[in-house]
Amino acid sequence: MPPLRAPWSTVPQIIGSDVSSLRHVNRDGALQHLRRTPDSVFTASDIADGLGLSRPTAARLLTELSESGWATLELAHSGSAGRPTRTFTINRRRRLVAALDLGANNLLAAVADLSGTVLRRHYAPHGHPGSAELMAQQAAAALLRLVEEETGPHGGLSSVVVSLPATVDRDGRILPWSDSPAWATAALPSLLGELLQELPGLRLRFEGVPLAAAEAELQHGELQAGEDAVFVLAGDITGVAPLIEGRPYRGATGAAGAIGGLDSVDWRAATAAVLEETGAQTLDELVASGLAGDSDAAAALSRYAEHLAPGVEVLVRAFDPARLVLGGCLAPAQELVLGPLGAALGRTLGTTPTMVCASVDHVDAPMLGGLSAALDHVEWGTP
């Protein structure tokens, strides 16, 4: 009879050579311990206590990580006699990660180190390219330029996450919404992958903009761990990311909550109408005018928030969230939009979830969420 394992154990089943497999598990555990708090320094005793290992084993693992370039060794002198203390931190520059946010109007590319600190970025209008091929060329050129500026040709870029206004299913296929741009097609991943072939070992992944922005808000903003919530990314194209117990809920095809382009919800028509009414080119421009004191723009934003209410009501009834977070370009206009939206929901729902605006900058949110996901896809500990 095989030995029983405690049902709460988090130790993975050891397969193959027990000694080498266990060594790999422990080494990965030590590396992840360093990674989780990149600004902290650790001793062998810290790692031993955190992972339940002996101190000699922890010291050996940290030495291996240092020799392979994943950890940085520093000698801390206490001022008293005796050998200095060996301390370790994650080597932030062992690899780089990147995010590409392909928005409705702009392209944002960013390169970061293993702590998630952004090292270089590029933000500019993309001119609404008419095909996936043209968008892939723009995105690849922007990213390759950043990587070369930071590391030289063929730098150590490990992982890239690309966010775009479309659904991405569990197999990485792009499923355009009815209001997705012409370039957001199933051909984009292969086209971009071909243009990035000069970066060896690169892992390329795609994500819907609402889920990427929600990840940033979960890490740094108003979304709470363990809480049921709905994140509405309002903008020229409005998207949704539901969360169940603090985890993004994708559904069977990745399209959970993707109601923004439905005619019955009318968000697309509402956006077009408010822009035509005010003469603004984008919602960002309208929000800027409203915040600058333009009373007509402020009134238009209040009416626009009311037009969002029927779709938001559908989401609240479907997911029954404790918290509704309004993100995207409407978030800075909190005082102008939350009141009208809440009043409209109150008339039909009677009671409403806690409503707040996102606190992560709406321009950076998909990029920051993409970097977080890119870090999760680094092949940690590999040569």
Do 77 and 113 sit in the same domain of this protein? Answer: no
pLDDT at residue 79, as a whole number? 58
Q: How much is the average pLDDT of 275-300?
A: 95
- Domain boundary (211, 242, 276) is at 211
* Percent of the chain whose predicted confidence (pLDDT) is above 70: 92
**Among residues 37, 69, 90, which one ends one of the domains?**
90
Which CATH number characterizes residue 270's domain? 3.30.420.40
CA 110 to chain centre: 12
List, for residues 183-215, the tens digit of each pLDDT value: 999 999 999 999 999 888 899 999 999 999 999
Determine, yes or no, domain membership for 373: no
Report the pLDDT averaged over residues 58-87.
Answer: 83
The pLDDT of residue 2 is above 80: no
- 320 or 151: which leads in pLDDT: 320
- Spatial separation of the C-alpha atoms in residues 76 and 314, rounded to whole Å: 58
Residue 265: Cβ within 10 Å count? 21
Asked if residue 153 is part of any domain, the answer here is yes
Q: Do 177 and 236 fall into the same domain?
A: no
How many structural domains comprise the chain? 3
Last residue of one domain, picked from the residues 90, 116, 132: 90
pLDDT tens digits, one per residue of 18-44: 667 777 888 888 888 898 888 889 999
pTM over cut 0.85:
yes
Of 143, 26, 39, which is closest to residue 87 (Cα–Cα)? 39
pLDDT of residue 380: 85
Same domain, 265 and 138: no
The answer to whether position 372 is within a domain reads: no
State which residues form the domain around 190: 96-211
- Is there a single domain that holds both residue 257 and residue 348? yes
Question: In the block, which residue shows the tokens 């020229």?
Answer: 236
Residue 10: inside a domain, yes or no?
no
Contacts of residue 203, defined as CB under 8 A and 6 or more positions apart, other chains included, come to: 158, 159, 160, 377, 378, 379
